[in-house]
Structure 1
Amino acid sequence: MSARIKLFLKGMLMGAADAVPGVSGGTIAFITGIYEELINSIKSVDMDAARLFLSGSFKDFWKHINGSFLLVLILGIVTSIATVAGSVLYLLDTYPVMLWAFFFGLILASCWLIMSQIDTWNMWLTLIFVVGAMFAYLVTSITPTEIEPTSLAVFLSGMVAICAMILPGVSGSFILLVIGMYTPILSAVKAFDVQLLGLFLAGCVVGISGFSRVLSWMFVHYKMATLAVLAGFMLGSLNKIWPWKYTTAYAINRHGEQVPLAQDNVLPLSYQALTGEPSYLYASLALMVLGGAIVLLMERGLSSQR
């Protein structure tokens, strides 16, 4: 029961992270030590699982897909999105600099944590790391757009976003923001639009069933290279999470609200001069340190359990 409560709380952390455009639930899964089990459990939902289920071997089916693990984790994620995620979004709107600072420290420490798991660095792994960092940087530099939420667009956005959500350093929420589907999906969650959410979840199922197999294969055959590229993703994603941003262009969304369209990263003192708002420098630095410390403490706790 204690292990399930801990797993449920890890799911809640993943759900809260996935609600923020720029933070990946996959990062939280990696920090909390459940990443590989999550990928392998998702991969196990296959034709063998379907045959066991259709033949009535429900106990074997449940064991085959690691059902207890997936159920508890999904309940945590859903509970978080329905409850805690709202508070996270409130903090993002009210105290954006300090919240981004906390996530910046958390992800920076997570990047170091992954890099420390690579036994020996060589030119090949360094190249993969740099490519991963450049890819994440370029993705997080894309100016968000807005498209019509048709049935096909919602389904495809689910496929793409779920792949990003299970990649440490690549935010599924930000991918939705980039392709213009973040607001429609979040609005559907709040309004409990069953039809739109059903299409989105169907896309998620299709996307994750294929992508989890790719990740699992990579971990089995090229684990060090996989860790290197994931660490690169995390490092490159810090571009999006830098706390002090100056908005250079705005857009009007479908609700008539003014939202940031293009933003530049600036230094804390420049931020204060450009925006006229306090930089909260010392509080933000303290939260960066706190975010990093949480990651290191969680890793120490997991290491002691191994």
Structure 2
Amino acid sequence: MSSCNNSIPQPLIFVLAGIPGLESSHGWFSLPFLLVFVITVIGNVTVLYIIRIENSLHEPMFLLLAMLSVVDLSLVGVTVPRMLGIFWANAKEISFNACLTQMFFIPSFYVMESGILLAMAFDRFIAIWYPLRYTTILDNNMLVKMALAVLARAVAVLTPAPILTKRLESFRTHIIPYSYCAYMAVVKIACSDISDHIVYGLMVIVTSVGFDLFFIILSYGLILRAVFGIPSWEARSKALSTCSSHLCVIALFYSPVVFSVLAQVLGYQMAPHLQIIVDNLYFLIPPMANPLIYAARTKQMREWVVKILHCRRD
């Protein structure tokens, strides 16, 4: 990294390095990225199609799943095409304003997904604690309010990122050692005190992912308390089975974050290229796996997938 003695003013164009140190392998990296993109689009579009045409799925759990699919499609839509452009066409240049836009939308969709997972945990809590009032509590008005709250929080939490970055006046280099415009990756090449930016970054994590994970754990603690109070083993098993898909999705979504935080707390420093690959997994693996998990573990979804495949064979 160059010194601030040779700093440059705020550039009109940044250059995304992709995966530094592995430039010669960019072509190989493009293959799994393309595969993830195709599977994600097909899987989530299929989920949305099934939920739309099947009236029995017009209930809170599946409407929340539809919201999750929309966010997943949006997330891969703003990340993968740009990465494939870098890997295939060496299209590394990105304007400053486009960088700020990407810096806002990518983490916004991630925070929205975390919020929807919290809403889905609340859905399971109501279904098990108040089964007779389930559809009354989680009516369409409540679902709309939950969706607006998820959207509003993401906008409120992530709007300062591009604003704070816009105020940075000079940089060590115009090359961002990342595959997309990550907030901290841009801040770290700035020639100024970044302590406020670090504090803001931590606040984003705590007020979004940290908040959601805490209340998801609390919700499932209360769910387990209710389930193990049921005398019948068969009823317990049935109650827990309704949560299994959601638990798998939660584990997949939060595991990379928990791993990354624990690694930093324990003082383990990953190689830069490995850190970038892990960070990309935050945004790519859950959107691909979510529809596969629900299709495999939810009876109604599974039956429709079989029906669609059978029709295509005919």
- TM over 0.5, yes or no? no
TM-score after normalising by structure 1 = 0.24
TM-score by length of 2: 0.24
Counting helix residues as a fraction of each chain, which structure ranks higher? 2
Structure ID, larger Rg: 2
